[in-house]
Amino acid sequence: MSASLDRNTQDTAPGTQDTAPGTQAPPRRTKRYTEDKVPLGTVIGRMIVGLVVLAVFILPYLIMVFGSVKTKSQIRSVDPTYFPQEWHWENFASMWSTPETPLAQNMISTVIISVCATLLVLVVALPAAYYTARFRFPGRMVFMFLVIVTQMLQPAVLTSGLFRQFSILGLGDTWAAMILVNAAFNLSFATWIMHSFFAGIPKEIDEAARLDGASQLAVLFRINLPLVWPGIVTAIVFTFVACWNEFAASLVILSTAGNQPISVALTKFVGQYETSWQYVFGVSIVGILPVVLLFMLIEKRLVGGLTTGSVK
């Protein structure tokens, strides 16, 4: 058992190891694999449990996948089958050119709104999280509470005010409006989690750096940022997913079909007397995939990130 791994556990975030930033500890997971000398029976038992978990979490989405490759009439069949009898994969091609909604543009809108809103949240929440974690001043807790209050408001009732506000500002039907809305309403979680990450870093590191003559900004960016990187990743994921699926405000603020995100575009397949369910399901899958890919890329960092933020 190596020393670095043991230390890893104490009261520290992965980032707070006093090794230089950049030299990450070897992934814990690999270590567990090799070190745990578990009997084969136990491993098989775990695999079976894992399989059950896998099934439970995937089954609902299999219904979605199967639905997306059926035809409009098959999907509303009163004699349902577990598996589609014909696989109409072409639904995934034709969904991009339906008369109902310009899906490619919707995709672009969703990406732009989500990416920009996430960046904006980072830019705004990072300094606030850092400062509130590092320095004490009157009103600090008021600020933190004000931030989390935004998370408690029910969006359904706020939309009409949001619409009116952005119309007055001349930002009705723009991506900018939605970027601001998404950023404002997701600021809270990002600030809180990053706050707790910064709080987990020993102050002495800062003070030492300041003694060496580094500016406050340099301390933040060069010393702290690399250490709280997992926390930032966590904040990014949370914000991004929330923006990606935002619906209530986009519905009223964005009126041009091409400006609307996927969440709104989905509703266009719902007619008065019939609904193109194959597209509703298909577009949903297309909407889920980028987020799952994002998860895949950062899963390890996410776990590390959540650790520090919540345990500290």
Residues 244-283 that bind other proteins (CB under 8 A): 244-245, 247, 251-252, 254-259, 263, 266-277, 280-281
Binding segment for other proteins among 15-23, 42-50, 87-95 (CB under 8 A)?
42-50
x/- mask, other proteins, residues 101-140, rule CB under 8 A, reads x-------x--x--xx--xx--xxxxxx-xxxxxxxxxxx
Question: Which residues neighbour 145 within 8 Å (Cβ) at sequence distance 6 or greater?
Answer: none
Residue whose CB is less far from other proteins, 58 or 104: 58
Stretch that binds other proteins, among 7-15, 18-26, 88-96 (CB under 8 A): 7-15
CB of 20 to other proteins, least distance (A): 21
Q: Is 89 helix (H, G, I), strand (E, B) or coil?
A: coil
Applying CB under 8 A, among 33, 41, 97, 213 the residue interacting with other proteins is 33
Least distance (Å) between residue 153 CB and other proteins: 6
Considering only residues 172-211, where is the footprint of other proteins by CB under 8 A? 172-176, 178-181, 183-185, 187, 189, 191-192, 195-196, 199, 203, 207
Q: What is the smallest separation between the CB atom of 165 and other proteins, expressed in angstroms? A: 5
**Stretch of 18-26, 51-59, 89-97 contacting other proteins, by CB under 8 A:** 51-59
Interface mask toward other proteins for 139-158; x: CB under 8 A: xxxxxxxxxxxxxxxxxxxx
Provide the 3-class DSSP secondary structure of residue 21.
coil
Min CB(222)–other proteins separation in Å: 13
Site string for other proteins, 66-105 (x = CB under 8 A): -x----xx--xxxxxxx---------------xxxx----
d(CA 28, CA 166): 48
Instruction: Assess 159 for contact with other proteins (CB under 8 A).
Output: yes
Residue 186: Cβ within 10 Å count:
25
Q: Give the residue ranges of DSSP H helices in 40-174.
A: 40-68, 72-75, 91-94, 103-134, 140-149, 155-168
Non-local (6+) Cβ contacts of 117 within 8 A are 178, 179, 180, 182, 183, 186, 239, 243
| CA nearest to 197, candidates 67, 108, 80, 301 | 301
Burial 251-284 (b: 16+ CB within 10 A, else e): bebbeeeebbbbbbbbebbeeeeeebbbbbbbbb
State the minimum distance, in angstroms, from the CB of residue 90 to other proteins: 16
Q: CA 53, CA 297: separation in Å to the nearest integer?
A: 22
The stretch among 2-10, 17-25, 85-93 that binds other proteins (CB under 8 A) is: 2-10
Closest CA to 270 of 257, 280, 281: 280
Binding positions for other proteins, 221-240, rule CB under 8 A: none
Kindly tell me the sign of the dihedral angle through the C-alpha atoms of 231, 237, 242, 244: positive
Choosing from 17, 21, 24, 28, the residue that interacts with other proteins (CB under 8 A) is 28
